Amino acid sequence: MTLSVPAPLVPPARVLLGPGPSDVAPSVLRALAAPTVGHLDPYFLGVMDEVRAMLRAVFGTKNTITMPMSGTGSAGMETLFVNLIEPGDRVLVGVHGVFGGRMAEVARRCGAEVVTVSAPWGREIDADAMRAAAKGQRFDAIAMVHAETSTGVLTPLAPFRALADELGALFLVDAVTSLGGVPIDVDAHGVDAIYSGTQKCLSCPPGLAPVSLSERAMAKLKSRKIRPQSWYLDLELIGSYWGSERAYHHTAPINMLYGIHEALRLALEEGLDARFARHARHAKALAAGLQALGLELPVPEGSRLPPLTLVAIPEGIEDAPVRKALLQRYGIEIGGGLGDFKGRAWRIGLMGSGSTPRNVLLCLGALHGTLAAMGWKAKGDPIAAAIALLG
């Protein structure tokens, strides 16, 4: 059989305004194209040291074990659970969307006894509800999603450290859609283990999963009765590569680490406070424009995740045709709903380098035109409403 050689790839230019991946900054793309060196080359070891230092700054931690795992955000989730949870451990998980449910499933696959506490999709997880479900019993870990990508809900971290202390538990956090877009402050909130991804607010392609573990978490890892079930994700082994020993573990994705180096550098160059304020400002402008269109935002204002906005699909409008029209006519990608919101909502992301006034107005204008062509009548002028908040 003779294979016809395909033509070189020429991907279409898209404006990525969905739940991720986000648009990649041009300088990050250039970094990805830099010459590849060996994974033990002295130059690359210096890159690793700088990546680790910058990750600590963006996470808001002094944790020694802070590094990007080779793999997507889900690999970060697996990393935390396979290292910190043993068969028979008890884990309390808050579920108010897809990714809380996924945490619970991964914990079960590690052999844990899992208790889940559910909240309605579109609402925060309540620490008091988790406290009530615990019934005063001891747990080895509590886990929750800081920024639930399936709903656009941001849950404050502050109440959960006290709960973990009451239960004698480690505090595990999913920060896939919050790292680099909203404050996390790992040390200030007493987070024991946290993971994220590169493709959201850091505006780097998917492929790395930043993680950070406290000394308390590392003590749990070192006291395990059996070794972690995953050799590839074993943090003691990988920690020896990222630490002073530089012990070979696996061939690191060199160019992806160039990419996250530049993405983190951009975040720190902008200044984290300025970056968080930018995401918040553009989210408010988008929300004002959407409401001027007459669209409902299911998440209460105080619980909205600035990098990702959930929008209810109005009655009489179908989901897929709108997203198809936005993609074909304007090159704009927005996300559909998941789980309870499947077919009922869109997810619009303004993340990292994609969180700009241009993208706010571009999205609103394209959505306005698309809905108008389908018979939807706006209540007001979405562009004017957004500009009033953009300044």
Reported as a single tens digit per residue, the pLDDT across 71-117 is 999 999 999 999 999 999 999 999 999 999 999 999 999 999 999 99
Mean pLDDT estimate for the chain: 97
Cα(198)–Cα(209) distance, integer angstroms: 6
How sure is the predictor about 123, in pLDDT bands with cuts at 50, 70 and 90?
Answer: very high
Edge to edge, what strands does the sheet with 308-312 contain? 308-312, 345-349, 335-336
Nearest alpha-carbon partner for 64 in 54, 56, 73: 56
Angle 215-222/235-242 helices, nearest 10 degrees? 120
Evaluate if residue 135 carries a pLDDT over 80: yes
pLDDT at 233: 97
Evaluate if residue 1 carries a pLDDT over 80: no
pLDDT at 254: 98
The residue type at 253? P
Cα(152)–Cα(200) distance, integer angstroms: 13
Q: Please report where in the chains the tokens 């680099």 appear, as a residue.
A: 180
Q: Report domain 26-268's class.
A: alpha beta
How many Cα neighbours within 13 Å face the side chain of 383?
Answer: 8
pTM of the model: 0.96
pLDDT at 2: 85
| Model pLDDT for residues 191-244, shown as the tens digit of each residue | 999 999 999 999 999 999 999 999 999 999 999 999 999 999 999 999 999 998
Q: Strand ranges (DSSP E) for 151-256?
A: 153-154, 170-174, 193-195, 208-213
List 15's β-bridge partners, or say none: 332
At the fourth CATH level, the homologous superfamily of domain 271-390 is Aspartate Aminotransferase, domain 1 (3.90.1150.10)
- Contact between 161 and 142 under an 8 Å Cβ cutoff? The reply is no
- Contact between 113 and 87 under an 8 Å Cβ cutoff? The reply is no
| Model pLDDT for residues 232-261, shown as the tens digit of each residue | 999 999 999 999 899 999 999 999 999 999
The domain locations on the chain are 26-268, 271-390
- pLDDT over 70 percentage in the chain: 100
pLDDT at 324: 98
| Model pLDDT for residues 138-179, shown as the tens digit of each residue | 999 999 999 999 999 999 999 999 999 999 999 999 999 999
Q: Is 127 helix (H, G, I), strand (E, B) or coil?
A: helix
pLDDT at 391: 79
| Model pLDDT for residues 31-74, shown as the tens digit of each residue | 999 999 999 999 999 999 999 999 999 999 999 999 999 999 99
**Which run of H or of E encompasses 213?**
strand 208-213
**Residue 391: how many CB atoms within 10 A of its CB?**
7
